[in-house]
Chains A and B, each alone.
Chain A
Amino acid sequence: MKKVVVNEAKCKGCGVCVNFCPKSALAMADRINSKGYHPAELANEAACISCGICGRVCPDAVIEVFKP
């Protein structure tokens, strides 16, 4: 399981999580979801420190964060 799990179908691609990620581990995916948005994804799992910020700032409650 990834440290950051994004419910891609519900993501509106606002980019707030990407902006506030302190380790630049998140990015907007190239693919498009059924709503027509580029969902956020954990692009660099190794960089992620499971701080939870992306989950807390996500306006659409689509991110859950896990720590190994």
Chain B
Amino acid sequence: MKQVYSVPKSLRPVSTHYCPGCTHGIIHKLVAETIDELGVRDRAIGVASVGCSVFSYDYFDCDFQQAAHGRAPAVATGIRRTVPDAVVFTYQGDGDLASIGTAEIVHAAMRSENITVVFVNNAIYGMTGGQMAPTTMVGQRTTTSPEGRIKGLAGEPIRVSEMLATIPGATYVARVSTTSPAHIAKAKRAIKKAFEVQLAGGGFSLVECLSTCPTNWGMSPVEAMEWVDKNMIPYYPLGEFRTPEGGQTNG
């Protein structure tokens, strides 16, 4: 028998704390597969954020630092500057990156820090129990938007990839989804490309991964994936917003 799918080696053989069906696990696998395929596990240094991915250091089998909420790009900058041949990546959620960490992500992109950011957008604060995030959809109910996010009060969700794509230093910016085998295959290609940009010394790369939160959305895992396709993708279009070649493939 030939093995056609195996679990990536850069992922530790442990059970994660993620809820059943949470797509964090899929994104972890894609990052770990990329590290395996590029053969960089022994020089990879990850930076974990605050939120559901706080324990990602327990799942990736490489060196890690745990950052304060939103500060992962700053911590990664400190690592980047001191270990020139390291492969430095942050793994951040939307509360972390798109709210409290906006300054850090914008300026890491501005400096074109040679790091890779894996940005997980599930439109909610998962770890703290389902509060409204800057990425929460208008009308989406959360524990702090009980009547649904109201545009007139909380504004409309922030499109991080589009915003960062306006920054000259952002070498590679893409948005992908994790809600179907085809989307996952594209997500893998984007994540690998982002790491390849870093390995080539190309500067800042970020992949925004649309993700689910079945528990806090109150849906089954499959319903949650369908919800992303129906509600999030139209607002958060998929594609590459910046590439080293200068091309864009939106939609």
Contacts and interface: CB of A to CB of B under 8 A. Distances in A.
A52 B221 CA distance: 20
A14 B22 CA distance: 9
A44 interface: no
Contacts of A59: 18, 20-26, 29, 221
B231 interface: no
B21 A20 contact: no
Given A19-B222, A20-B180, A60-B15, A66 B4 contact: yes
Contacts of B1: 1, 3, 66-68
Contacts, number: 86
Interface stretch (B6-14, B104-112, B142-150, B164-172): B6-14
Contacts of B8: 61
Most buried by B among A3, A51, A56: A56
Interface residues on B, range: 20 to 34
Interface string A27-68: 000000001010000000000001111111111111111111
Given A12-B21, A37-B20, A55-B5, A61 B181 contact: no
B4 A52 contact: yes
Interface residues on A, range: 20 to 34
Contacts of A13: 20
B15 A65 contact: no
B185 interface: yes
B185 A56 contact: yes
B5 A16 contact: no
A15 B222 contact: yes
Contacts of B185: 56
Interface of A: 1, 3, 10, 12-16, 19-20, 35, 37, 50-68
Given A14-B20, A35-B15, 4 more contacts: A12-B20, A16-B225, A57-B181, A64-B7
